[in-house]
Amino acid sequence: MPELDRDVLEIVERISTLQEPYRQNAVEWLEEFTQNGIEDVGVDMPHFLGTLKPIIRRNFTRFVCLVLDEAAQHFSMM
């Protein structure tokens, strides 16, 4: 699996662990954080992540996944 696809999948999987309204809150946070509109995380994140250099993309993905893991731990069943 290409690295870009893996990074997108990691983010999508973590968002899917959240229940509403936390899932939508996470998407809105991602929109603000990336300064990009996100209608569908699985469609829009590859476009955003594709603009980043690989090392920046990987660090971004790690950070986002860390935040989403914390959100899942506090607001949802993980």
Mark residue 5 as left, alpha or beta (left: phi above 0; alpha: psi -120 to 50; beta: remaining).
Answer: alpha
Of the candidates 6, 16, 19, the one whose C-alpha atom is nearest the C-alpha of residue 49 is: 6
pLDDT in tens, 1-57: 789 899 999 999 999 988 889 999 999 999 999 999 999 999 999 999 999 999 999
Q: Is the dihedral of CA 52, 2, 63, 18 positive or negative?
A: positive
Specify the 3-state DSSP secondary structure of 39. Answer: coil
Query: What is the residue extent of each domain of the chain?
Result: 3-73
**Per-residue pLDDT for 62 more than 90?**
yes
Give dist(CA 36, CA 73) in Å, integer. Answer: 26
